[in-house]
Amino acid sequence: MNRSGYSFLLLGLLATSSLVKAQSAEVVIPGFTAYAVPKEAGVNISGRQGVVRWTDSTNAVNFYFHAANAGPLKIGLQAKSDAPAKIKVLVNGTEKVISIPNGSDYTTIPVLQTKLKTPGFYTISLKGIEKQGNVYADIKGVTLEGPATKDIQFNPKPWRRSASVHLNYPVAEEKNVEWFYGEIRVPEGQDKLGTYFMSCGFHRGYFGMQVNGPQERRIIFSVWDSGKEPDDRSKVRYEDQVTLLAKGDSVVASGFGGEGTGGHSHWVYNWKAGETYRFLMHAVPVGTTTQYTAYFYVPEHKEWKLIASFRAPKDGKYMSHLYSFLENFSFENGYLARKGFFGNHWVKTDTGEWIELTKARFTNDATARAGDRLDFGGGSENGWFYLWTAGFTPANAKLGDIFERPAGGKQPEIALPKF
């Protein structure tokens, strides 16, 4: 072999060695990305420490990842306990009971090896078996090694909500949108805790319905202040704050912060999965302000209910940038799939023209755009648009996709209460 041939072979061997090393590099899924299933009780998922105070054996502690490549995978745990304990680890159909030694320092404990036959989502599930102390284990992270780690994806952040997804409705710029109407239907079983199904969003606010607790659901309407204060409404000058003008019976209204600032209103109402609900927004520009009013149709009473009316400063425009969204606002159950149908959206202009919105552009939030979550999507189905998020199933839509639904052709009939 001549020298140049030897050099070529050596370079090839080095390249192959580097590739194998890259494919086999250890990655660590942080403990703070775990979920307790079926609920976070008897265990705490800390944004700083990971899995701690795990005392209950009735739940499982699950980690999720997406493998872009098939192949062997070696799994370990960065764990410790206050006394000897045993936990069961299940992944890819293989399970093993391992011992967690007591100690104050985390130790990397080899667990098992498996072979992933296909790319896709996988779950690493931990279950408490025995403990001699207070906890089964504190888990700092899950280590993964082997060829299957190449281009592996998992959430690297303590932000355990799933991605928010949106439908953006195009309207010609020359049209002044005075009224914005929409409907929502949530399939049975998709009304998970910590979900916001938002029907009528616009450049200054949003209007929809939430699942706030096991026994509480709300109709929510909010309008943002002017300015760019991100959190603390007490820092917003009075002339930049929205003003409450009116609210319906039993509606709670206040200021809000933490996601921008503004005026918030909600009505506690036990809406039900499987039913269709109607939402209506009205905008009245006056000088440099705009009065935004939200109405919700109460099917039990067969009438529209005023939720609230806010005056927004430094505005003076009709509604624009119309959209709907689906949001998971609960950290604890960000693994649970949820889906909502959004349809029959219409606008009415200041000249009285009704326009049906039959096209929507799909967008998503920073969690999706960063690649922290891959499980989200949307589309058109049975005459409705739909959005879904979470569940660790493959996305079926990407940023910028255009959805279309067939036109119903019948504008909404609305008889508002007179005051």
What are the residue ranges spanned by the domains of the chain? 26-149, 165-404
pLDDT in tens, 68-91: 999 999 999 999 999 999 999 999
pLDDT tier at 346 (50, 70, 90 boundaries)?
very high
Residues near 241 by beta carbon (within 8 Å), at least 6 away in sequence: 225, 233, 255, 261, 262, 263, 313
Whether residue 13 is predicted with pLDDT greater than 50 in this model: the reply is no
Question: What number is the average pLDDT over the span 275-292?
Answer: 98
pLDDT tier at 419 (50, 70, 90 boundaries)?
low
Q: What is the largest CA-CA distance in the chain?
A: 97
Q: 26-149 with 165-404: one CATH topology?
A: yes
Whether residue 11 is predicted with pLDDT greater than 50 in this model: the reply is no
Choice among 118-132, 327-341, 404-418 with the minimum mean pLDDT:
404-418
pLDDT at residue number 1:
46
The C-alpha atoms of residue 50 and residue 243 are separated, in whole angstroms, by: 42
pLDDT tier at 246 (50, 70, 90 boundaries)?
very high
Q: What is the pTM of this model?
A: 0.91
User: How many angstroms from the chain centroid is the CA of residue 321?
Assistant: 21
DSSP assignment of 193-255 equals: TTEEEEEEEBTTEEEEEEEEETTEEEEEEEEEPSS---S-GGGS-GGGS-EEEEE-TT-EEEE
In which residue are the tokens 């005056």 written?
Answer: 311
Question: What number is the average pLDDT over the span 331-355?
Answer: 97
Q: Taking the domain 165-404, which CATH number applies?
A: 2.60.120
Burial class (CB in 10 A: 0-12, 13-18, 19+), 154: buried
pLDDT at residue number 19:
36
CATH topology of domain 26-149: Jelly Rolls (2.60.120)
Query: CA torsion 146→150→156→160, rounded to 10°?
Result: -90
Question: What number is the average pLDDT over the span 336-351?
Answer: 98
How confident is the prediction for the chain on average, in pLDDT? 93
The C-alpha atoms of residue 56 and residue 46 are separated, in whole angstroms, by: 16
Q: How many CA atoms lie within 13 A of 79 on its CB side?
A: 30
Strands (DSSP E) contained in 81-176 are: 85-91, 94-100, 107-116, 120-131, 138-145, 165-169
pLDDT at residue number 24:
57
Whether residue 316 is predicted with pLDDT greater than 80 in this model: the reply is yes
Tokens of 247: 């609210």
Query: CA torsion 342→223→415→383, rounded to 10°?
Result: -10
Strands 35-37 and 262-268: what pairing? unpaired
Whether residue 285 is predicted with pLDDT greater than 80 in this model: the reply is yes
